Amino acid sequence: MLDNGIGTSQDFGRTWTRIKSSVGFRRRLIIPLFILLHLCITLALAYKLNIWIDEAYTLHTTGRNVRFAFDQALRLELQPPLYFILLSLWRDLNDSIFFTRLFSVLCSTLTIYVGTVVSRKFIENLHPGWFAAAIALHPFMVWAGTEIRVYAFVILLSALLLLLFYDGYLAEMPRSSARWLHGLVAMMALYTQYYAGYLLLANAFALLVLKRWPSLRSYLLAMIVVGICFTPMLSVVVDQVPALTKDVANSISFFQGLKVVCWRILRFLFPLNWYRPLAKPILSFGFGLIVATMFFVGTICSVVAVMFYSKKLHRSITPNAVAVWTATTVVTFCFIVTVHITGEKMLAARHMAILFLPLILSALFVIRVTAINKMILIWTLTTVLLSVTSVGVLCMQMAKSGDWDRVASYIMASEKPGQAILVFLADSKLPLTHYYKGQNSIVALPTEPQMETFDVYHRVLSDEQQIIRALQQVPKEHKQIWLVTDETFDFLGVDYRSHVLENFTKKYYSVERSKVFFGAKVRLLHRRPSGYWSTSTSNPSAQ
């Protein structure tokens, strides 16, 4: 009996050890699993999805050499040049659309790994798999990973800034090497997106709130060096801001700016953007609750932590939590001021990419403060469910704005010689020409895309004479033409006057066939017997 008892105890111990090892092994698999899922989804979408107008601009900007990319970034894109320079070098290896997108795929995938390291350092006693689950399948991360634009790179830089800020300034034993690297990444971030400066400012406030005076002094000195290195861009920024905002008269109240920014924050936290009629009332219902939780509770906890900093902080309100809440609040405030000054249309959700990771960290900290462990499970499962649904809808439609691949295929399958393709907006000609390999000419309205400087007004259609002059570029009778229209009819408050085109179409043509795509409409037009415009005089007349 004694031997059996000992044997039973030993067997139980070995079994329990195997169970713990199995659980630990599975826990270690969580992060690689989410990284692999994100990589598979973004690779598939990057290969299949069509490019849209913004991506076509990036392809043009990075399509020649580094010098051209640098100049176009400043003049046409009105952005810092680093991303476009890197992408130009990347495209020297391979010029295909898929390989170009692969740069963003790698950035978004690497962000998940770096983000889990950030989560492990900032939030103690919380498995970083929760953070990976919250961002790996998030539609914003998946979208950024399939874009030939700057956003995946910006999110990666924000993750590196958070990681190096912790190691260099928040850790119990800060590392000088991390401070040097933080300064380097900070400089890269500013040369990638100007809004990255908001996070650099927010980190200074975090050290101020925590009363880390030596670290704050070192941080400010490092930021002075970064500022000096950024000095060559100051004159460029002075020229870019008026060029971008000269036509914008959409300044809104501070409270309206607060609503705009908070609405976008809610979409980051609860990615219910797959069905907008349902998303808006649900997210609006939770507006007060989520905003109060994220900002008022966070700010109050920060203030309380500062007031009683000489005492032992509550175990849930750690200095790391205070730092993240402070940084998130400051960045959010900066965006609210930005929207207040420039208006809603100048600041899309994608422009707030620098806020995405700090916001997710803040949400996890708020849940930790509640000391309700199940809340992390509920929020994460909700986020994953909404993310999977949103990505699923994207996979079903399998198209970005314009759906230019299918538009081109539709026209090529039915076109005949002498059927000019009229495209409005003019910028839509850029992505369409990547896919159209047919026999007819593509004519942009009102003029060819402006590829030297940023100018909203080159897209405005003044009168039907512009349409006639555009068609006269192709010397045919134009008894039948294809008309391709983009769904965007205004930008930054500037009306593109699409009604001029519609009136011209009704006056001189009848619609033989029509098909609606995702973000675009294609019509085959036949000239009316009772309506005629002369290709030789450019003066419309009626018969």
3-state per-residue secondary structure call for 393-433? HHHHHCCCCCCHHHHHHHHHHHCCCCCCEEEECHHHHHHHH
| Pairwise pLDDT comparison (284 vs 27), residue with the higher score | 27
Listed residue (238, 458, 195) closest to 333, CA to CA: 195
Comparison of pLDDT for 144 and 369, the residue scoring more: 144
63: in domain: no
Q: Does the pLDDT of residue 369 top 90, yes or no? A: no
Tell whether 130 is covered by a domain. Answer: yes
Average pLDDT of the chain is 84
Same domain, 478 and 430: yes
pLDDT given for residue 540 in this prediction? 41
Work out the pLDDT band at 533, boundaries 50, 70, 90. low
The predicted pLDDT at position 273 comes to 59
Number of structural domains the chain divides into: 2
Q: What is the pTM assigned to this prediction?
A: 0.87
Q: What is the 3-state secondary structure of 264-299?
A: HHHHHHCCCCCCHHHHHHHHHHCHHHHHHHHHHHHH
247 three-class SS: coil
Burial track 413-449 (b if 16+ CB lie within 10 A, e otherwise): eebeeebbbbbbbbbbbbbbbbbbebebebbbbbeeb
Residue that is last in its domain, among 397, 430, 455 = 397
391 & 468 share domain:
no
- Per the document, the length of the chain is 543
Q: Could you tell me if 77 and 148 are in contact, meaning their C-beta atoms sit under 8 angstroms apart?
A: no
Question: Is 87 a member of any domain?
Answer: no
Q: Could you say which DSSP state residue 531 is in? A: E
Bond from prior residue into 446 cis (ω within 30 degrees of 0): yes
Q: Do 507 and 371 fall within a single domain?
A: no
Task: Say which range, 182-186, 201-205, 257-261, has the weakest mean pLDDT.
Answer: 257-261
Range 129-139 average pLDDT: 94
Instruction: Using the 3D structure, point to which of 354, 379, 397 is the last residue of a domain.
Output: 397
Domain limit, last residue, from 346, 371, 397: 397
Q: Is residue 392 part of a domain?
A: yes
Q: Is pLDDT above 80 for 481?
A: yes
% residues pLDDT > 70 (the chain): 81
- Whichever domain contains 416, its CATH number is 3.40.50
Answer for the pair 454, 75: CB distance below 8 angstroms, yes or no.
Answer: yes
Instruction: Judge whether residue 25 has pLDDT over 60.
Output: no
DSSP-derived letter for residue 541 is: E
Cα→Cα distances 144→11, 118, 151, 527, Å: 51, 20, 6, 43
Establish if 383 belongs to a structural domain.
Answer: yes
**Is 325 in the same domain as 410?**
no
How high is the pLDDT of residue 124? 84
279 has pLDDT over 80: no
How would residue 187 be classed by pLDDT, with cut points 50, 70 and 90? very high
Q: What is the CA radius of gyration of the chain?
A: 27
Please indicate, yes or no, if residue 467 is contained in any of the structural domains: yes
Q: What's the farthest any 2 CA atoms get from each other in the chain?
A: 113
Q: What are phi and psi of 300, to 5 degrees?
A: -60, -45
Tell me how far apart the alpha carbons of residues 38 and 43 are, in angstroms, rounded to a whole number: 8
Domain that holds residue 127: 2-48+96-397
- Do 336 and 314 belong together in one domain? yes
> Are residues 248 and 327 both part of a single domain?
yes
Q: Dihedrals φ, ψ of 375, to 5°? A: -65, -35
Contacts of 393 (CB under 8 A, 6+ apart): 274, 275
Is residue 81 pLDDT above 50, yes or no?
A: yes
Q: Which band of pLDDT confidence, cut at 50, 70 and 90, is reported for residue 141?
A: very high
Do both 274 and 423 map to the same domain? no
Give the model's pLDDT for residue 275: 45
- At 312 the pLDDT is 45
Gap between the Cα atoms of 451 and 77, Å rounded: 10
Return the number of other C-beta atoms located less than 10 Å from residue 129's C-beta. 20
Q: What is the per-residue pLDDT for 62?
A: 96
From its phi and psi, is residue 402 left (phi > 0), alpha (psi between -120 and 50) or beta?
A: left
In angstroms, how far is CA 494 from the centroid of its own chain? 23
Collapsing DSSP to helix, strand or coil, 470 comes out as helix
Do 377 and 480 belong to one domain? no
Does 205 lie in the same domain as 120? yes
Residue 110 located in a structural domain? yes
CA dihedral for 145, 150, 154, 160, sign (positive or negative): positive
Q: Are residues 198 and 113 in the same domain?
A: yes
109/13 same-domain check: yes
**Residue 306 resides in a domain:** yes
Residues 13 and 154 in one domain: yes
Q: Please, are residues 366 and 297 in contact by the beta-carbon 8 Å criterion?
A: yes
Highest mean pLDDT among 126-140, 153-167, 330-344, 396-410: 153-167
pLDDT surpassing 70 at residue 218: yes
pLDDT of residue 92: 96
Strands annotated E in 41-198: none
